[in-house]
């Protein structure tokens, strides 16, 4: 497995293995959280904080975008960087449509085979049953997003929003200021993109962009006068920020414990406090969720050095591999989560729980390994093709089984 991991020996210039490891962990949490009745879901982030794996995924995606596309901006200019961003958005769009078709077929067939139309209603696929052609058109327009299929459209929108703002990575204060204004407008004015079924997108991109942009601003490594890329700006270590971040997370953990384990205690709290705890919305990224994930990121960012040896250890390797190939791993996780649900509905005992969670993790790691192998093969082919030219020999013509790209 170590040979398949990019940066397995060294982090390499510009690569932060912490992002890969924690993104892999977030992808596994998303898989776990999408399975109703999963006992392991009681231990994921959503039960001990105001935020969950989605916030972690978006923040890390923004950090990676700032690192990669900020470098493209500095090296080749805005047009090249924006084009690279939009190309990635196009890849995500194709993956989303493919996932939509597979997921709709999977759930529809299961509902028919098991005579359980409730699956279609619960996962918001009933319009696809009643108006399939219109539903497909709306899905192509990203105006129809069934349950579990709303994260990739959010990611696509966030990349599209970052493209015109890419030069502002060089002026992070201005970028964050404008982003905060858009976030406030989204929450106060209910600014959102239209949804075919019920008003707006579940994940409001005009609100969630603040978390993504924050990650991008932190991840952008500015270009130095000598042409080299400097380190990404680090938020300084301060005891008061550590104390504040820890307090935020402790309050969140206590509140979530109260809500889930002893909801009757909410009646003993002041009315305003109880109302606040029960109205922390996810759709427009409630400030409590935003502050919680930033506090967690601040503590982890300082607790885990970039050069930490355990990031290259055996236990971290599966999550590192998953995080480095997030798109195929995420799509596979959505598909497997529904299979896991079907399995737990047959038996929710410990052996089945272990099979679903352990087997799901192994499958996701396997997908990451396959994706890594294909990437290594694709990167090796140009090097092999260049070798004969470097030695003055004619290069071999591409065969029918290895088409040129």
The string of pLDDT tens digits covering residues 156-204 is: 999 999 999 999 999 999 999 999 999 999 999 999 999 998 789 999 9
Q: Which bin fits 199, alpha (ψ -120 to 50), beta or left (φ > 0)? A: left
Residue 209 has pLDDT above 50, yes or no: yes
Instruction: Grade residue 3 by pLDDT with cuts at 50, 70 and 90.
Output: low
Give dist(CA 267, CA 270) in Å, integer: 8
Secondary-structure percent of the chain, ordered helix, strand, coil, rounded to 5 = 70, 0, 30
Vertex 331: Cα angle to 203 and 219 (nearest 5): 60
pTM score: 0.88
Give dist(CA 349, CA 240) in Å, integer: 46
Average pLDDT over residues 199-227: 88
Residue 394 has pLDDT above 50, yes or no: no
Contact 231, 311 (CB under 8 A): no
Selection from 405, 190, 396, 382 nearest residue 283 by Cα: 190
Q: pLDDT of 130-166, one tens digit each?
A: 898 999 999 999 999 999 999 999 999 999 999 999 9
Contact 196, 143 (CB under 8 A): yes
Residue 327: its pLDDT value, please?
95
Give dist(CA 351, CA 231) in Å, integer: 47
């Amino acid at each position: 497995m170590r040979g398949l991991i990019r940066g397995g020996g060294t982090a390499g210039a510009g690569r932060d293995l912490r992002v890969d490891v924690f993104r892999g962990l977030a992808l596994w949490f998303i898989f776990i959280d999408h399975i109703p009745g999963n006992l392991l879901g009681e231990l994921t982030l959503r039960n001990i904080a105001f935020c969950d794996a989605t916030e972690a995924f978006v923040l890390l995606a923004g950090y990676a975008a700032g690192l990669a596309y900020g470098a493209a901006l500095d090296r080749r200019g805005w047009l090249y960087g924006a084009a690279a961003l939009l190309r990635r958005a196009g890849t995500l769009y194709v993956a989303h449509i493919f996932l939509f078709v597979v997921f709709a077929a999977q759930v529809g067939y299961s509902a028919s085979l098991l005579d359980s139309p409730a699956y279609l209603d619960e996962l918001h696929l009933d319009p696809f049953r009643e108006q399939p052609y219109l539903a497909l058109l709306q899905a192509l327009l990203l105006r129809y997003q069934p349950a579990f299929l709303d994260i990739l459209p959010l990611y696509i929108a966030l990349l599209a929003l970052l493209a015109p703002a890419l030069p502002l990575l060089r002026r992070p204060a201005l970028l964050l200021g404008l982003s905060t204004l858009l976030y406030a407008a989204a929450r106060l004015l209910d600014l959102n993109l239209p949804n075919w079924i019920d008003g707006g997108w579940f994940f409001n991109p005009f609100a969630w962009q603040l978390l993504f942009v924050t990650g991008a601003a932190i991840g952008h490594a500015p270009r130095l006068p000598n042409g080299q890329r400097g380190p990404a700006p680090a938020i300084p270590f301060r005891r008061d920020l550590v104390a504040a971040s820890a307090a935020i997370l402790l309050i969140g953990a206590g509140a979530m414990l109260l809500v889930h384990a002893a909801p009757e205690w909410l009646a003993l709290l002041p009315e305003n406090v109880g109302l606040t705890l029960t109205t922390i919305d996810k759709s427009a990224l409630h400030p409590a969720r935003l502050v919680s994930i930033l506090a967690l990121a601040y503590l982890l960012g300082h607790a885990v050095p970039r050069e930490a040896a355990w990031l290259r250890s055996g236990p971290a390797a599966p999550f590192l591999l998953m995080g480095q190939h997030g798109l195929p791993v995420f799509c596979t996780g959505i598909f497997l989560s529904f299979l896991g649900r079907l399995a737990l509905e047959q038996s929710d005992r410990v052996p089945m729980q272990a099979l679903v969670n352990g087997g799901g993790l192994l499958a996701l790691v396997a997908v990451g390994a396959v994706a890594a192998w294909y990437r290594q093969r694709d990167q090796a082919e140009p090097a092999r093709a260049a070798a004969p030219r470097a030695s003055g020999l004619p290069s071999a013509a591409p065969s029918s089984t290895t088409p040129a790209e």
